[in-house]
Amino acid sequence: MASTYTPLGVELMATGENAGTWGTKTNTNLNIIEQISGGYKVQTLNTAGAGANTTALTEADGATGATVATRVIIFGAESPETISGNKIVTFPVGVENFYLIKNSTSGAYTVQLKAASGSGATVTWATGDKDWKLVYFDGVATNTGVYDVGFGAATSPGGSTTQVQFNNSGAFGGDADLTWTAGTALTINSQKELRLGDSDDSAYIGQKASATTTSYTMTWPAAVAGGNGYLLKSTTGGVLSWEEADAGGTSWQAVKTTTYTAVAGQGIFANTSGGAWTLTLPSSPTIGDEVAVVDYAGTFDTNNLTIGRNGKNIQGSAADLTVATERAGFTLVFSDNTQGWLLKNN
């Protein structure tokens, strides 16, 4: 009895047949099966002239390389292939398998996939469909059908552009009050809250913007370097810093030897032994803000320290303050835009 072949070309050998070549044929069968499991093939289409030319795909009995015995198929070319009319691709009758197939053609024409004969179901790529399809041939002996089984239902995003997606009763949802600006910010709009729940979600801490505000960004500092009793302090621009809380409320800084802009609440050890320089006051002070200054090296008399007013008056005068007293120590406190910074003690 002679060998027979499956619709995809695998050789079914009869008992006692192919003595001496059985091993070679078995290896070929295994190669065909491997190709069917995950092989890849580019199949050019019949483009001779305009019109619905047919590309007939056939099995290769007992041999590898047949397109129909390949799992992943590209119709046309990877570049893609230009076609000038609607095209038809046929598979052998009786094939029972599934394929991943892409229509890689250019031109506003359809590509239809069907069995070589019979009136079974067909699958068609529309004129603008240049994508992948998951298709299944049902193997019906004389009337083989092919079906687009799809990759699952297509799901469109909810809401509008920039809106963050969330589960809305099993579907994608979006909301104008929760948006993402690419590369910039996640925004909660309209005074909605950011809520931080406790361990059992029975209570939360909420944060939200005030009803009317000027835009600014709270910029967090690095972790405080050791110790307890530090407070977070913000500039008018929202930049946070750690400040050690002490009895006098003054955050004393390391000795300064050159131009420096003070932050409200700081105490400055000013060293002018290397030459005169300017200590600039905060730019947007509020009532009660203080800056303390001490002559660290006792050299203010020879190398004066200039207190830069930074747009606000000092002692009611629109002029910088020159400090020329050896071992001077004093505190400036901000009152208002009329008198500005006033000497609290000297």
Q: What is the CATH number of the domain that holds 334?
A: 2.60.120.640
Please indicate, yes or no, if residue 281 is contained in any of the structural domains. yes
Verify that 270 and 180 share a domain, yes or no: no
Please indicate, yes or no, if residue 155 is contained in any of the structural domains. no
Query: How far apart (Å, rounded) are the C-alpha atoms in residues 261 and 326?
Result: 22
pLDDT in tens, 242-257: 876 654 578 899 999 9
pLDDT in tens, 72-105: 999 988 888 998 889 999 999 999 999 999 999 9
Please indicate, yes or no, if residue 153 is contained in any of the structural domains. no
Query: How far apart (Å, rounded) are the C-alpha atoms in residues 15 and 20?
Result: 13
pLDDT at 346: 63
Verify that 189 and 268 share a domain, yes or no: no
Verify that 9 and 97 share a domain, yes or no: yes
DSSP state of 23: H
Query: How far apart (Å, rounded) are the C-alpha atoms in residues 111 and 103?
Result: 7
Measure the CA angle with vertex 321, ends 315 and 323; round to 5°.
Answer: 120
Task: List phi, psi (to 5°) of 24.
Answer: -60, -45
What dihedral angle (degrees, nearest 10) is formed by the CA atoms of 211, 216, 222, 228? -40
Verify that 293 and 234 share a domain, yes or no: no
pLDDT in tens, 314-335: 999 999 999 999 999 999 999 9
* Structure tokens that stand for 43 in this block: 């199949």
**Verdict on whether the full-model pTM lies above 0.75:** no
Query: How far apart (Å, rounded) are the C-alpha atoms in residues 302 and 284?
Result: 31
pLDDT in tens, 158-196: 889 999 999 888 888 999 999 999 989 999 999 999 999
Q: Average of pLDDT values for 108-115?
A: 93
Verify that 28 and 134 share a domain, yes or no: yes
Q: Average of pLDDT values for 134-138?
A: 95
Please indicate, yes or no, if residue 52 is contained in any of the structural domains. yes
Domain that holds residue 106: 4-148
